[in-house]
Amino acid sequence: MADLELTFIGSGNAFVREGACWNGFVANGRYLFEAPPQALMSLNRLGIDPNAIDAVVLSHHHGDHLLGLPFLLLHWKYLGRTTPVTVIGPPETEDVVREISRRTYPTLFEGGAEVRWVTATPGTPLEAAGLVVEAVEVRHDPKLTANFGYHATIAGRRLGYTGDSALCDGVLDLARRAEVLVSECTSRADVFDNHMNLVDDMPRLRAALAGDASLVLTHLPHDLGEHALPRTTVATDFATYRW
Ligand SMILES: [Zn+2]
Protein backbone atom coordinates (compact mmCIF):
# COMPACT_ATOMS: atom_id res chain seq x y z
CA MET A 1 0.00 0.00 0.00
CA ALA A 2 1.11 3.54 -0.70
CA ASP A 3 1.96 5.74 2.27
CA LEU A 4 -1.11 7.87 1.75
CA GLU A 5 -4.32 6.58 0.21
CA LEU A 6 -7.44 8.73 -0.15
CA THR A 7 -10.79 7.22 -1.12
CA PHE A 8 -13.57 9.66 -1.94
CA ILE A 9 -16.99 8.79 -0.53
CA GLY A 10 -18.25 11.75 -2.54
CA SER A 11 -16.99 14.82 -4.38
CA GLY A 12 -20.00 17.09 -4.86
CA ASN A 13 -20.82 20.47 -3.37
CA ALA A 14 -24.03 21.01 -1.37
CA PHE A 15 -26.26 20.79 -4.45
CA VAL A 16 -24.96 17.38 -5.69
CA ARG A 17 -26.58 17.68 -9.09
CA GLU A 18 -26.71 14.88 -11.63
CA GLY A 19 -26.33 12.04 -9.15
CA ALA A 20 -23.16 13.16 -7.39
CA CYS A 21 -22.48 12.38 -3.73
CA TRP A 22 -21.61 15.02 -1.15
CA ASN A 23 -17.91 15.55 -0.49
CA GLY A 24 -15.90 13.45 1.95
CA PHE A 25 -12.92 11.08 1.90
CA VAL A 26 -11.27 8.30 3.87
CA ALA A 27 -7.52 8.44 4.49
CA ASN A 28 -5.71 5.09 4.76
CA GLY A 29 -8.98 3.27 5.46
CA ARG A 30 -9.10 4.65 9.04
CA TYR A 31 -9.69 8.39 9.06
CA LEU A 32 -12.91 9.87 7.69
CA PHE A 33 -12.80 13.52 6.68
CA GLU A 34 -16.38 14.87 6.81
CA ALA A 35 -19.60 12.96 7.48
CA PRO A 36 -21.90 13.87 4.58
CA PRO A 37 -25.46 12.52 4.62
CA GLN A 38 -24.55 9.47 2.50
CA ALA A 39 -21.34 8.63 4.40
CA LEU A 40 -22.54 5.24 5.69
CA MET A 41 -23.99 4.28 2.32
CA SER A 42 -20.77 5.21 0.54
CA LEU A 43 -18.56 3.30 3.00
CA ASN A 44 -20.70 0.20 2.57
CA ARG A 45 -20.69 0.53 -1.21
CA LEU A 46 -16.89 0.87 -1.19
CA GLY A 47 -16.43 -2.13 1.08
CA ILE A 48 -14.85 0.00 3.81
CA ASP A 49 -15.92 -1.38 7.20
CA PRO A 50 -17.51 1.53 9.12
CA ASN A 51 -16.20 -0.06 12.34
CA ALA A 52 -12.65 0.34 11.00
CA ILE A 53 -12.99 4.14 11.02
CA ASP A 54 -10.92 5.25 14.01
CA ALA A 55 -11.47 9.00 13.71
CA VAL A 56 -13.85 11.42 12.00
CA VAL A 57 -12.62 14.92 11.21
CA LEU A 58 -15.25 17.61 10.63
CA SER A 59 -14.45 20.99 9.12
CA HIS A 60 -17.68 22.83 9.97
CA HIS A 61 -21.33 22.19 10.74
CA HIS A 62 -23.05 22.69 7.38
CA GLY A 63 -25.37 19.76 6.70
CA ASP A 64 -23.52 18.43 3.69
CA HIS A 65 -20.49 17.88 5.96
CA LEU A 66 -22.19 16.65 9.15
CA LEU A 67 -25.62 15.08 8.71
CA GLY A 68 -24.29 11.59 8.06
CA LEU A 69 -22.88 11.31 11.57
CA PRO A 70 -26.11 10.07 13.23
CA PHE A 71 -26.20 7.13 10.79
CA LEU A 72 -22.58 6.30 11.55
CA LEU A 73 -23.33 6.47 15.28
CA LEU A 74 -26.30 4.17 14.71
CA HIS A 75 -24.09 1.66 12.89
CA TRP A 76 -21.44 1.82 15.59
CA LYS A 77 -24.02 1.33 18.33
CA TYR A 78 -25.85 -1.65 16.85
CA LEU A 79 -23.52 -3.37 14.38
CA GLY A 80 -20.63 -4.72 16.35
CA ARG A 81 -18.28 -1.87 17.08
CA THR A 82 -16.15 -2.59 20.15
CA THR A 83 -13.40 0.04 19.85
CA PRO A 84 -13.67 3.76 20.68
CA VAL A 85 -14.06 6.30 17.88
CA THR A 86 -12.81 9.88 18.01
CA VAL A 87 -14.78 12.75 16.46
CA ILE A 88 -12.72 15.89 15.92
CA GLY A 89 -14.45 19.11 14.99
CA PRO A 90 -15.18 22.77 15.71
CA PRO A 91 -16.58 23.89 19.09
CA GLU A 92 -20.01 22.46 20.01
CA THR A 93 -19.84 19.57 17.54
CA GLU A 94 -21.10 17.12 20.16
CA ASP A 95 -23.96 19.49 21.10
CA VAL A 96 -25.02 19.87 17.46
CA VAL A 97 -25.03 16.12 16.83
CA ARG A 98 -26.85 15.40 20.10
CA GLU A 99 -29.49 18.02 19.23
CA ILE A 100 -30.10 16.48 15.79
CA SER A 101 -30.16 12.98 17.22
CA ARG A 102 -32.47 13.86 20.12
CA ARG A 103 -35.24 14.49 17.60
CA THR A 104 -34.38 11.77 15.09
CA TYR A 105 -32.96 8.79 17.03
CA PRO A 106 -33.81 9.64 20.67
CA THR A 107 -31.92 6.69 22.20
CA LEU A 108 -28.83 6.98 20.02
CA PHE A 109 -26.60 8.07 22.89
CA GLU A 110 -27.79 5.40 25.33
CA GLY A 111 -25.04 2.77 25.36
CA GLY A 112 -23.02 1.67 22.37
CA ALA A 113 -19.41 2.20 21.45
CA GLU A 114 -17.41 4.89 23.19
CA VAL A 115 -17.30 8.19 21.28
CA ARG A 116 -14.52 10.59 22.18
CA TRP A 117 -15.48 14.14 21.21
CA VAL A 118 -12.49 16.40 20.66
CA THR A 119 -12.73 20.12 19.96
CA ALA A 120 -9.97 21.25 17.63
CA THR A 121 -8.07 24.43 18.45
CA PRO A 122 -6.30 26.29 15.63
CA GLY A 123 -2.54 26.09 15.94
CA THR A 124 -2.59 23.22 18.44
CA PRO A 125 -1.91 19.80 16.90
CA LEU A 126 -3.78 16.87 18.41
CA GLU A 127 -3.31 13.14 18.03
CA ALA A 128 -5.97 10.47 17.74
CA ALA A 129 -5.44 6.83 16.74
CA GLY A 130 -2.19 7.57 14.94
CA LEU A 131 -3.57 10.62 13.16
CA VAL A 132 -2.05 14.03 13.92
CA VAL A 133 -4.22 16.97 12.89
CA GLU A 134 -3.99 20.69 13.38
CA ALA A 135 -6.97 22.94 12.67
CA VAL A 136 -6.44 26.07 10.60
CA GLU A 137 -9.07 28.80 10.56
CA VAL A 138 -10.54 29.44 7.13
CA ARG A 139 -13.15 31.89 5.77
CA HIS A 140 -16.57 30.41 5.15
CA ASP A 141 -19.71 30.97 7.29
CA PRO A 142 -19.28 33.41 10.19
CA LYS A 143 -22.58 32.28 11.74
CA LEU A 144 -21.19 28.81 12.51
CA THR A 145 -19.14 28.16 15.66
CA ALA A 146 -15.98 27.93 13.52
CA ASN A 147 -14.76 27.00 10.05
CA PHE A 148 -11.65 24.84 9.92
CA GLY A 149 -9.30 23.39 7.39
CA TYR A 150 -6.80 20.81 8.64
CA HIS A 151 -3.15 20.06 8.32
CA ALA A 152 -2.71 16.34 8.94
CA THR A 153 0.23 13.98 9.23
CA ILE A 154 -0.65 10.44 8.20
CA ALA A 155 2.00 7.71 7.95
CA GLY A 156 4.60 10.48 7.76
CA ARG A 157 2.93 12.24 4.81
CA ARG A 158 1.68 15.82 5.02
CA LEU A 159 -1.95 16.18 3.96
CA GLY A 160 -3.84 19.45 3.83
CA TYR A 161 -7.62 19.81 3.61
CA THR A 162 -9.27 23.18 3.12
CA GLY A 163 -12.80 22.32 4.23
CA ASP A 164 -15.12 24.93 2.73
CA SER A 165 -13.47 28.32 2.34
CA ALA A 166 -12.76 31.34 0.24
CA LEU A 167 -9.12 31.80 -0.73
CA CYS A 168 -7.62 33.18 2.49
CA ASP A 169 -4.44 33.11 4.57
CA GLY A 170 -5.48 29.85 6.23
CA VAL A 171 -5.92 28.07 2.91
CA LEU A 172 -2.60 29.39 1.60
CA ASP A 173 -0.89 28.25 4.80
CA LEU A 174 -2.30 24.75 4.29
CA ALA A 175 -1.02 24.78 0.71
CA ARG A 176 2.52 25.78 1.69
CA ARG A 177 2.77 22.91 4.19
CA ALA A 178 1.18 20.12 2.16
CA GLU A 179 2.55 17.29 0.05
CA VAL A 180 -1.05 16.59 -0.92
CA LEU A 181 -3.73 19.28 -0.63
CA VAL A 182 -7.42 18.42 -0.95
CA SER A 183 -9.20 21.64 -1.76
CA GLU A 184 -12.76 22.63 -2.24
CA CYS A 185 -13.55 24.05 -5.69
CA THR A 186 -17.22 24.92 -5.55
CA SER A 187 -17.66 26.47 -9.00
CA ARG A 188 -15.93 26.89 -12.33
CA ALA A 189 -16.10 30.68 -12.73
CA ASP A 190 -18.94 31.83 -10.48
CA VAL A 191 -17.60 34.01 -7.68
CA PHE A 192 -18.77 33.53 -4.09
CA ASP A 193 -17.35 35.28 -1.03
CA ASN A 194 -17.21 32.02 0.98
CA HIS A 195 -15.96 29.51 -1.61
CA MET A 196 -13.21 29.07 -4.21
CA ASN A 197 -13.57 28.62 -7.95
CA LEU A 198 -11.49 26.94 -10.63
CA VAL A 199 -10.73 29.87 -12.88
CA ASP A 200 -9.60 32.57 -10.41
CA ASP A 201 -8.60 30.76 -7.21
CA MET A 202 -7.08 27.42 -8.18
CA PRO A 203 -4.13 28.92 -10.12
CA ARG A 204 -3.26 30.99 -7.02
CA LEU A 205 -3.62 28.00 -4.74
CA ARG A 206 -1.56 25.82 -7.09
CA ALA A 207 1.16 28.48 -7.08
CA ALA A 208 1.33 28.36 -3.26
CA LEU A 209 2.02 24.61 -3.33
CA ALA A 210 5.47 23.14 -3.80
CA GLY A 211 6.12 22.18 -7.40
CA ASP A 212 6.09 18.46 -6.62
CA ALA A 213 3.02 18.63 -4.35
CA SER A 214 -0.34 17.33 -5.52
CA LEU A 215 -3.64 19.20 -5.57
CA VAL A 216 -6.94 17.29 -5.47
CA LEU A 217 -10.15 19.20 -6.15
CA THR A 218 -13.42 18.28 -4.45
CA HIS A 219 -16.75 19.87 -3.32
CA LEU A 220 -17.33 20.26 -7.05
CA PRO A 221 -20.10 21.59 -9.24
CA HIS A 222 -21.54 19.37 -12.00
CA ASP A 223 -20.00 21.59 -14.68
CA LEU A 224 -16.40 22.11 -13.53
CA GLY A 225 -15.02 21.60 -17.04
CA GLU A 226 -11.42 21.28 -18.17
CA HIS A 227 -8.31 22.70 -16.52
CA ALA A 228 -4.60 22.91 -17.32
CA LEU A 229 -3.19 23.03 -13.79
CA PRO A 230 -0.09 20.87 -13.18
CA ARG A 231 -0.23 17.91 -10.76
CA THR A 232 -3.93 18.56 -10.17
CA THR A 233 -6.61 15.86 -9.98
CA VAL A 234 -10.36 16.36 -10.04
CA ALA A 235 -11.78 13.86 -7.54
CA THR A 236 -14.58 11.56 -8.60
CA ASP A 237 -17.03 9.71 -6.39
CA PHE A 238 -15.69 6.35 -5.10
CA ALA A 239 -12.22 6.83 -6.61
CA THR A 240 -9.00 6.06 -4.71
CA TYR A 241 -5.76 8.04 -5.13
CA ARG A 242 -2.35 7.01 -3.80
CA TRP A 243 0.96 8.74 -3.06
ZN1 LIG B 1 -20.08 24.81 3.99
The predicted-structure confidence for 108-140, as pLDDT tens digits, reads as follows: 999 999 999 999 999 999 999 999 999 999 999
In a domain, 95, yes or no: yes
Q: Is residue 124 part of a domain?
A: yes
Mean of the pLDDT values across residues 185-207? 98
Could you tell me which of 91, 202, 228, 223 has the C-alpha nearest to residue 146? 91
Ligand 1 center to 159 CA (angstroms): 20
Ligand 1 centre to CA of 217 (Å) is: 15
> How many folded domains does the chain comprise?
1
**DSSP conformation letters of 86-154:** EEEESTTHHHHHHHHHHHHSTTTTSSSS-EEEEE-BTTB-EEETTEEEEEEE--S-TTSS--EEEEEEE
Asked, for residue 240, whether it belongs to a domain, the answer is: no
pLDDT, average across residues 233-240: 98
In a domain, 137, yes or no: yes
Query: What is the pLDDT, as a whole number, of residue 97?
Result: 98
C-alpha 35 – ligand 1 centre gap (Å) = 12
**pLDDT at position 214 over 90:** yes
What would the pLDDT profile of 161-191 be if each residue is shown by its tens digit?
999 999 999 999 999 999 999 999 999 999 9
Q: State pLDDT tens for residues 15-65.
A: 988 889 999 999 999 999 999 999 999 999 999 999 999 999 999 999 999
Give domain status of residue 241, yes or no: no
Instruction: Tell me, in angstroms, the distance from the centre of ligand 1 to residue 79's CA.
Output: 30
CA 90 – ligand 1 centroid, Å = 13
pLDDT at 198: 98
Q: Give the distance (Å) from ligand 1 centre to CA of residue 107.
A: 28
Q: How far is the CA of 59 from the centre of ligand 1 (A)?
A: 9
DSSP secondary structure code for residue 12 in this structure: B
Q: Which domain holds residue 128?
A: 5-229
**Per residue in 8-32, is it b (16+ CB within 10 Å) or e — as a string?**
bbbbbbeebeeebbbbbbbbbbebb
Residue 1 CA to ligand 1 center (angstroms) comes to: 32
**What's the CATH code of the domain at 154?**
3.60.15.10
pLDDT at 2: 67
CA of 82 to the centre of ligand 1 (A): 32
The residues that bridge with 134 in the sheet, in sequence order, are 151
Assess whether pLDDT exceeds 70 at residue 1.
no
pLDDT (0 to 100) of residue 73 = 98
Domain annotation covers residue 236: no
Residue 131 counted as domain residue: yes
Q: Among residues 167, 109, 120, 126, which one has the least CA distance to residue 145?
A: 120
